[in-house]
Amino acid sequence: MSRLSAQGRIFFAVLGIALILVILMGLQDRPQREITPFTVPTATPEPAVVEEEASPVEVVDEPATAEEEVAPEEATPEEELVPAEEEAEGTESRASFFFAVLPSTPPIPEDNPQTPEKEELGKMLYFEPRLSQSSVIACSTCHNLGLGGTDRIPTSLGHDFQTGGRNAPTVLNAAFFNQQFWDGRAASLEEQAQGPIQAGVEMAMPADMAVERIKGIAGYLPYFQAAFPGEEDPITFDNIAKAIAAFERTLITPNDPLDRYLLGDDDALSPLAKKGMETFEAVNCVACHNGPMLSSGLLMRFRHGEDPGRMTVTGDPADEFLFRVPTLRNLPLTSPYFHDGSAATIEEAINTMANVQLNRELTPEEVEAISAFLNSLVGEQPQVTVPILPAN
Ligand code: HEC
Ligand code: HEC
């Protein structure tokens, strides 16, 4: 499947163009089995796009076994094509109908442009335990960048050793999601960052106290002035969140073996991992785990345990058990899995997903292959130097 003759390439190029035309003509069902994914060369690759959504919450009700959910609205095949500028020289890129190369930069909101000064301040605040009431809990306590951006325990321990009952998702690549949290209750990283500082079970610090605490550390002022130039009173709760969000947008992990494979390096995935990728597609994990994040970014029903998911936020019984599909990038670094941390291993998570989401049993061979595929999703980790925080 890897090397095609010249005629084969032309054939697939024509097939690829024809397919794009058909899709553009409004055909909703994505052809799934007839095409050979990954070997369809494309004449005009377009950059992968992660769109900003106007509405903060997108909900897809039904557990997807149906084919149309392979194609959620914001992940059309054109957008999933390999970005042209990321093609390695001398290699032949492959378009995938299900996956896409993780871009090396996430979308940046207009009202919070990236600057090196803001990223630096954001890093300091990310590591700053004095943003918590107890002065011992920082973002990095639960989203430890030495541990894949997680805390590696089933459910996080926050203020006074309380547990919020949910597993800490990784911050790595979180910037690509436009719904944050397991229940999608925050639309942006800026909005998200304000949550844990104030949450009683996390850092337990009211907004005005957090601002006062930071203002009380005189060494911070020049950093805020540099990050928010021209602002008279730059130390605000909004700016704290903006700076942290800007830092989080640097926590991207490009170039994992799947990306290198998509960019044309045949040997980037082992034979078993390739088989796993094909199984992952064939049994329809890709209905929900697709695109550059291996997540549609949508909320899907997952009946498992007591947590009612999105219903906690809306109170609407129609939202019971809706959880946002998590990314599978860096999965080997982020166990245990699920919103309640109830799956200790990747194999356990695969089996539960097959049973609960797809109503099927996988053979041990299928699980082994999918596991090899998912184990190869570790990208280049951000190189973060530990910031020196102002003493006072
Ligand atoms: C006490 C542990 C703890 C602390 C401290 C903490 N978090 Fe979290 N974080 C969590 C948990 C647990 C969740 C999931 C909560 C949920 O979905 O209801 C989460 C969710 C997130 C998410 C959403 C990721 C996604 O994919 O949806 C981001 C981003 C994040 N935290 C960043 C931060 C930042 C920034 C800080 C510091 C301001 C912070 N967290 C502090 C435990 C923590
Ligand atoms: C109907 C949509 C859907 C399908 C199909 C699906 N998943 Fe999931 N997947 C989800 C959702 C939603 C979650 C988050 C569950 C939760 O709340 O803990 C998830 C979580 C996971 C996790 C845990 C990730 C983490 O960081 O906690 C893994 C691993 C996973 N899925 C793999 C698979 C595999 C393998 C398949 C195919 C056998 C599959 N999924 C099929 C929706 C789906």
**Active-site residue, 128 included:** no
Which residues contact ligand 1 via a Cβ below 6 A? 137, 139, 141-143, 156, 158, 164, 166, 168-169, 171, 174, 177, 180-183, 189, 192-193, 196-197, 202-203, 244
User: What is the residue extent of each domain of the chain?
Assistant: 44-103+254-375, 116-248
Omega cis (within 30) before 308? no
- Distance between start and end Cα atoms, the chain: 62
Task: Copy the structure tokens of residue 37.
Answer: 């994914």
Query: What confidence score (pLDDT) does residue 163 get?
Result: 73
Mean pLDDT check: name the lowest of 15-24, 297-306, 349-358: 15-24
Asked if 44-103+254-375 and 116-248 have one fold, the answer is yes
Residue 53: Cβ within 10 Å count: 14
Asked whether the beta carbons of 145 and 382 are under 8 A apart, the reply is yes
Mean pLDDT of 225-233: 97
Mean pLDDT of 345-372: 98
Mean pLDDT of 118-144: 96
Confidence of residue 200 (pLDDT cuts 50, 70, 90): confident
Q: What is the CA radius of gyration of the chain?
A: 22
Query: What confidence score (pLDDT) does residue 158 get?
Result: 79
The ligand 2 atom at the shortest distance from the C-alpha of residue 309 is 17
* 4-57 residue pLDDT tens: 555 656 556 655 555 554 444 544 444 333 333 333 333 333 333 333 333 434
- 161 has a pLDDT exceeding 90: no
Kindly report the CATH class assigned to 44-103+254-375: mainly alpha
Q: Which of 125, 105, 116 is nearest to 253 (CA)?
A: 105
Determine which residue's CA is closest to atom 36 belonging to ligand 2.
285
User: Quick one: which ligand is closest to 371's CA?
Assistant: 2
User: Exposed/middle/buried for 315, CB within 10 Å: 0-12, 13-18, 19+?
Assistant: exposed
pTM of the model: 0.82
Higher model confidence: residue 115 or residue 164? Answer: 115
User: Exposed/middle/buried for 258, CB within 10 Å: 0-12, 13-18, 19+?
Assistant: buried
- 379 has a pLDDT exceeding 70: yes
Could you identify the residue written with the tokens 């499947």?
1
Query: What confidence score (pLDDT) does residue 12 get?
Result: 60
Q: What is the overall mean pLDDT for the chain?
A: 83
Query: What confidence score (pLDDT) does residue 5 get?
Result: 59
Sequence length of the chain is 392
Amino acid letter, residue 74: E
Distance, CA of 56 to CA of 296 (rounded, Å)? 14
Contacts 24+ apart (CB under 8 A), 124-127: 124/220, 124/223, 124/387, 124/389, 125/214, 125/240, 125/243, 125/244, 125/247, 126/244, 126/247, 126/248, 127/386, 127/387, 127/389
Percent of the chain exceeding pLDDT 90 equals 70
User: Quick one: which ligand is closest to 248's CA?
Assistant: 1
Q: How far is the CA of 347 from the centre of ligand 2 (A)?
A: 12
Distance, CA of 326 to CA of 252 (rounded, Å)? 15
Task: Copy the structure tokens of residue 213.
Answer: 């605490």
Confidence of residue 170 (pLDDT cuts 50, 70, 90): very high
Query: What confidence score (pLDDT) does residue 112 get?
Result: 98
- Residue 326's alpha-carbon distances to 163, 263, 299, 388, in angstroms, are 21, 24, 9, 32
Determine which residue's CA is closest to atom 2 belonging to ligand 1.
142
Best residue for ligand 1 mutational test, from 139, 159, 314, 328 (most atoms within 8 Å of Cβ): 139
- Residue 381's alpha-carbon distances to 123, 144, 173, in angstroms, are 15, 12, 10
Percent of the chain exceeding pLDDT 70 equals 76
Which CATH code for domain 116-248?
Answer: 1.10.760.10
Task: Copy the structure tokens of residue 18.
Answer: 């024809």
- 67 has a pLDDT exceeding 80: no
* 250-300 residue pLDDT tens: 999 999 999 999 999 999 999 999 999 999 999 999 999 999 999 999 999
Q: How far is the CA of 91 from the centre of ligand 2 (A)?
A: 32
Does any ligand 2 atom lie closer than 6 A to the CB of residue 377? no
Task: Copy the structure tokens of residue 259.
Answer: 């990306």
Task: Copy the structure tokens of residue 56.
Answer: 């903060």
Q: Which of 143, 111, 112, 110 is nearest to 125 (CA)?
A: 143
Residue 348: Cβ within 10 Å count: 16
Kindly name the residue from 128, 190, 202, 248 that is annotated as catalytic.
202
Task: Copy the structure tokens of residue 131.
Answer: 């943003």
Is the CA virtual torsion 142, 148, 153, 154 positive or negative?
positive
Best residue for ligand 1 mutational test, from 119, 143, 189, 293 (most atoms within 8 Å of Cβ): 143
Does any ligand 2 atom lie closer than 6 A to the CB of residue 354? yes
